[in-house]
């Protein structure tokens, strides 16, 4: 019996029925939350998770949040802030970059492993993901992990699904660890510096025990953020000021970290690429990218380059993802080769043997 498709399911059971039917008929699906993470040109029926929304459980005392994938990220932030907590990995909001009308969702954050400047100190989204419930490409409902740390035996599938962009399974519930909000923060600013100088500053600061929680370079200015309790924050700030005195740092309160997180400086037109690299390679890569006619910014102490401009940067930087097309063509994700490609194909065949989940998005 063929299941009548409702492509905006409100329950896990409905997701399972839809995927089982699409698997049997080999009907491809475009998996979407708020549509605010990456431009997906794949043309197919869209399975929207926006109605599979809501917080299942939030325990501030246990610092644990359980929610469905369509739960809007702004609502989650507001709820956690009311309890003095936050998602420590600082997920970015790319609505300004992509110019869409959608709302970022918690499932989209996990599916993209979306992580902001604080990843430098606290780790990525997947490092705070305690467990998941999901439906695979056959329509099977599965779960992995739990509600506390270190309770997983065998393969931790939640870490595998984080960053898979809906190509392996459809998330129906996520369990995330929350952390207290830092009561105070300050930023050291270094105006008029190149990427090469910024990397020297980052290297010096990040080799200290002073827990720098943000290191970015935007528009010729380098930024270093420190967060924590007021008393110890002043000590760490002063030690960093003394250490980096040769670069004449300035102290800035209310620095634009939300804008840095959301790549607001590259909102608007032009193809936008997200490039992962070794921090020590960032200055030379930026020099080559600028020679292509575009502009760059750095995050994660140089481990993340945002490039806006013409051309395909994969000739210089293999790990480049096309986030905003604006006329650019070709696959969004870099092609895989060798053992990595074989492993990727094997996982796809295991989780989605009919190839119905976002085909072409990560394997083109």
Positive/negative CA dihedral, 229, 230, 231, 233: positive
The two counts, helices (H) then strands (E), for the chain are 11, 17
Tell me, yes or no, whether 333 lies in a domain.
no
pLDDT per position as a tens digit, 74-93? 999 999 999 999 999 999 99
Domain check: are 138 and 15 in the same one?
Answer: yes
Q: For 6-20, 195-209, 237-251, which range has the lowest pLDDT when averaged over its residues? A: 6-20
Structure token digits, residue 339: 């053992």
pLDDT digits (tens, 9 = 90+) for 166-183: 999 999 999 999 999 999
> Given a cut of 90, is residue 1 above it in pLDDT?
no
Given pLDDT bands bounded at 50, 70 and 90, which one contains residue 37?
confident
Q: Give 7's contacts (C-beta < 8 A, 6+ positions apart).
A: 18, 29, 45, 46, 47, 48
The pLDDT of residue 147 is: 59
- Mind listing the pLDDT tens digit for each residue in 281-302? 999 999 999 999 999 999 999 9
Domain with 188 in it: what CATH number?
3.30.70.260
What integer is the mean pLDDT of 91-111?
92
| End-to-end Cα, the chain, rounded Å | 33
Mean pLDDT is lowest, of 37-51, 95-109, 197-211, for 37-51
Domain check: are 61 and 33 in the same one? yes
Q: Is the pLDDT of residue 224 over 70?
A: yes
- Flag whether 224 is in a domain: yes
Please choose, from the candidates 193, 185, 194, the residue with its C-alpha nearest in 3D space to the C-alpha of residue 249: 193
Same domain, 190 and 163: no
Closest CA to 128 of 90, 173, 80: 90
Same domain, 43 and 105: yes
The residue count of the chain comes to 364
pLDDT value of residue 2: 43
What's the pLDDT score for residue 146? 67
Asked if 15 and 52 touch (Cβ cutoff 8 Å), the reply is yes
User: What's the pLDDT score for residue 39?
Assistant: 77
Q: What gap in Å lies between CA 116 and CA 79, rounded to an integer?
A: 19
| Together in a domain, 172 and 251 | no
Q: Are residues 192 and 228 in the same domain?
A: yes
What is the rounded average pLDDT for all residues in the chain?
93
Instruction: Tell me the CATH number at 36.
Output: 3.30.465.10
For residue 216, being part of any structural domain is answered with yes
Range of the domain at 194: 184-261
Q: Which of 181, 206, 234 is the last residue of a domain?
A: 181
Tell whether 364 is covered by a domain.
no
pLDDT at 6: 52
For 233-291, the pLDDT digits (tens) are 999 999 999 999 999 999 998 889 999 999 999 998 899 999 999 999 999 999 999 99
Out of 123, 155, 181, a domain closes at 181
> 167 and 67 in one domain?
yes
Structure tokens at 362: 């990560």
Q: Tell me what pLDDT residue 154 has.
A: 57
- Residues with Cβ within 8 Å of 233's Cβ and at least 6 positions away in sequence, in order, are 184, 185, 186, 226, 227
pLDDT of 231 reads 86
Is there a contact between 273 and 334 (Cβ–Cβ < 8 Å)? no
One domain, residues 163 and 228: no
Look at residue 21 and tell me if it is in a domain: yes
Count up the domains in the chain and report the number.
Answer: 2
Q: For 316-361, what is each residue's pLDDT tens digit? A: 999 999 999 999 988 999 988 899 999 999 999 999 999 999 998 8
In a domain, 334, yes or no: no
In a domain, residue 104? The reply is yes
Last residue of a domain, one of 261, 281, 307: 261
Residue 292 domain-assigned (yes or no): no
Residue 173 shares a structural domain with residue 192 = no
Whether residues 216 and 163 fall in one domain: no
Verify that 61 and 80 share a domain, yes or no.
Answer: yes
Residues 128 and 193 in one domain: no
């Amino acid at each position: 019996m063929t299941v009548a498709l409702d492509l905006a399911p409100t329950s896990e059971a409905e997701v399972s029925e839809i995927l089982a039917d699409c698997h049997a008929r080999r009907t491809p699906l475009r998996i979407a939350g708020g549509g605010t993470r990456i431009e997906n040109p794949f043309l197919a029926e869209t399975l929207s998770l926006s109605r599979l929304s809501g917080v299942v459980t939030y325990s501030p005392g246990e610092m644990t949040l359980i929610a469905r994938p369509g739960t809007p990220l702004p609502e989650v932030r507001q709820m956690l802030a009311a309890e003095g907590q936050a998602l420590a990995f600082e997920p970015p909001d790319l609505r300004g970059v992509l110019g869409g009308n959608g709302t970022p969702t918690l499932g989209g954050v996990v599916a993209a492993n979306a992580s902001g400047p604080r990843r430098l100190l606290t780790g990525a989204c997947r490092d705070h993901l305690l467990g998941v419930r999901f439906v695979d490409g056959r329509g099977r409902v599965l779960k992995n992990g739990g509600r506390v740390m270190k309770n997983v035996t065998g393969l931790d599938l939640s870490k595998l699904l984080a960053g898979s962009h809906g190509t392996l399974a459809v998330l129906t519930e996520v369990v995330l660890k929350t952390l207290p909000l830092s009561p105070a923060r300050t930023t050291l600013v270094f105006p008029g510096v190149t990427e090469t100088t910024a990397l020297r500053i980052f290297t010096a600061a990040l080799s200290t025990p002073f827990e720098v929680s943000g290191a970015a370079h935007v528009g010729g200015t380098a930024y270093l953020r420190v967060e924590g309790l007021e008393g110890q924050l002043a000590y760490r700030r002063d030690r960093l000021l003394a250490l980096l005195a040769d670069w004449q740092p300035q102290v800035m309160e209310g620095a634009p970290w939300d804008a840095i997180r959301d790549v607001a400086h590259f909102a608007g037109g032009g193809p936008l690429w997200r490039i992962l690299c070794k921090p020590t390679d960032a200055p030379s890569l930026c020099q080559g990218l600028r020679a292509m006619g575009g502009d760059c910014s750095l995050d994660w102490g140089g481990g993340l380059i945002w490039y806006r401009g013409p051309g395909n940067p994969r000739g210089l930087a293999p790990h480049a993802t096309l986030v905003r097309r604006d006329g650019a063509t070709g696959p969004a994700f870099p092609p895989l080769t060798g053992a990595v490609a074989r492993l990727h194909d094997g996982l796809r065949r295991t989780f989605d043997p009919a190839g119905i989940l976002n085909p072409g998005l990560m394997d083109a």
